[in-house]
Chain A
């Protein structure tokens, strides 16, 4: 049964890269009492551990989302900004954004002759106020904002912002709730700063130094009109990543995940992504190396204010995470 309430809460919670305080607190609250040990490392990764004497397994889903950082506030209420994570100017135009204090703005552009040349530096955020005092008091260089969009769902799919990677967080929370009896020493990591270069995972991987690492993150799909050429589709089940720019999945891990999926009748599909990377990138080259892989959630319309995923795929991912946690 899909826990819509939890997913909505996760999607709505503020947490762009480097500003994960609120989302971290929300997840901590959600997993209270479930883990044997909960720590926060120096970069802010939330690490929930289920102790055991066996194999050390690290699961990682990132808490942070893409957003904008204010670089300049002028007294008329126009804010200049830079992107935090992969965003491009054309997709931003006209969107509503919200700050951690609940204040909002809308993205506007300078009058441009050549619309093709639209760059983020030509956009600004209008925060809807002509009151200089209000602006001075409420907006500072360094503030961040994120998309403002409503969570929406149908029977089988969800549209929301920050599905990347709150859906991964959702999967880890649900898996932690159903953590199987096992001798394995399992670390559920809710990482920071993935969108700006998988930075949190680098330190978490170093600290934990696991025997096996699995990142849980979204991946693109090839099932949209004139979309990218790849086999992954919504409803096709958990995607087992074979390659992206950050990793070639360790053959042992590929076989492990495939066997677990088949043994447990979990629907799965293989994924090869020609771009991008996940937390598994820095983790698998940590220290002497860590056999690593990725369980991906097929997601359409990535890095936009309305990302779309399928609930069935999510359920299959949870099952695969649990099966992996249990495997000796």
Chain B
């Protein structure tokens, strides 16, 4: 499993180099052919029997923060990179910039808040990062405008086969593709580790432009809302209930024949799967399926509770289901029989 190491690396959208370097070294270790394209996507090629061009995609980037200003007392102002609910930021440890300067997100103490302020979620512009400096010049020696900030949260296993970490969206996908590449299947596919998914599906578009896939399989960490007091039909996915297959979201109406055929493969092989019961959100499939001539695309995802927060939770069993199902889909498609 690569997941522990992958989640503990920093890789906020647009600043994925730590994750990229890690994956590059693993690919080199396993003797897998790859290159890095102009935007920083890693495109790895597993050669084997081939009927069509298959592109597996998982994004390396994670949501985080970016430094916008340093105030006169040396506190760091920031903006969110990617979709973050501002309420998860209060009182979190973070790492700032390439040097990983530790800091904490501070805000006004509750004692000092007016009753009005207490009623409202604290907006991002009222929070700041404190790295323990006492002046602007002191901070400027360590931090620059434009530095990226990631959550500090270590990988932990708990409960029944559950994992807590940051960036499970989408290091789970990255670790699954690495795992598949290491298996040296006799089936041709490209494993693409994309950049900047969280800020607008940027990397996947240029990767798809280069590969011109017939079939795109996006491996994601996806929204899971199986918490108390959420109604049954609003629980977009359930943790521990297997690989989540997307039907529609804001960026893609998934090819229904393809999705149902993947469900059939899961059923035939006793792999747990579920349909993603939400039409909101989006992922790299949104650009892959409509680049150049177009492609069929599917998204096979790991349900992640508390996604886009430092304490995301996923199930090892679900990760296993996604891995196995993806592998079978690749093998099936490169067999030459018209299954998909």
A→B interface (CB under 8 Å): 17-19, 41-43, 69, 71-72, 74, 80, 82-84, 121, 140-142, 193, 196, 199-200, 202-203, 206-207
Contact = CB atoms under 8 A, between A and B. Distances in A.
A72 B232 contact: yes
A193 B253 contact: yes
B296 A71 contact: no
Interface string B269-297: 00000010111100000000110111110
B293 A84 contact: no
B295 A42 contact: yes
Contacts of A72: 232-233, 277
A42 B279 contact: no
Contact of A74 (B233, B248, B290, B295): B233
Given A42-B295, A193-B253, A142 B275 contact: yes
B256 interface: yes
A18 B233 contact: no
B256 A142 contact: yes
B24 to A, nearest CB: 31
B31 to A, nearest CB: 33
A42 B294 contact: yes
Contact of B290 (A19, A43, A121, A140): A43
Contacts of A80: 233, 277
A69 B214 contact: no
Interface in B235-280: 247-248, 253-256, 259-260, 275, 277-280
A82 B278 contact: yes
30 contacts: A18-B248, A18-B253, A19-B253, A42-B293, A42-B295, A43-B289, A43-B294, A69-B248, A71-B247, A71-B277, A71-B278, A80-B233, A80-B277, A82-B278, A82-B279, A140-B275, A141-B247, A142-B247, A142-B248, A142-B259, A142-B275, A193-B253, A196-B253, A199-B253, A200-B294, A203-B290, A203-B293, A206-B292, A206-B293, A207-B293
- The 7 closest A-B CB pairs, nearest first, are A18-B253, A82-B279, A203-B294, A72-B233, A142-B247, A43-B294, A80-B233
B234 interface: yes
Interface in B186-238: 214, 232-234
B252 to A, nearest CB: 8
A42 B247 CA distance: 18
Interface in B279-332: 279-280, 289-290, 292-296
Contacts of B275: 140-142
B290 A84 contact: no
Contacts of B279: 69, 71, 82-84
A41 B292 CA distance: 11
A126 to B, nearest CB: 14
B248 A82 contact: yes
A74 B232 contact: yes
A140 B260 CA distance: 11
Given A19-B253, A74-B233, 16 more contacts: A18-B248, A18-B254, A18-B255, A42-B294, A42-B296, A69-B247, A80-B233, A82-B248, A82-B280, A84-B248, A121-B234, A142-B247, A202-B290, A203-B290, A203-B292, A206-B292
A200 to B, nearest CB: 8
Nearest to A43: B294
Contacts of A196: 253
B233 A41 contact: no
B145 to A, nearest CB: 33
B259 A199 contact: no
Contacts of B294: 41-43, 200, 202-203
B214 A42 contact: yes
A84 B279 CA distance: 9
Contacts of A43: 289-290, 294
Contacts of B233: 71-72, 74, 80
Contacts of B255: 18
Q: Which of A19, A41, A140, A203 has the most CB of B within 10 A?
A: A203
Nearest to B275: A141
Contact of B277 (A141, A193, A199): A141
A326 B296 CA distance: 35
A141 B238 CA distance: 15
Given A71-B279, A72-B232, A41 B293 contact: yes
A141 B277 CA distance: 7
A255 B232 CA distance: 56
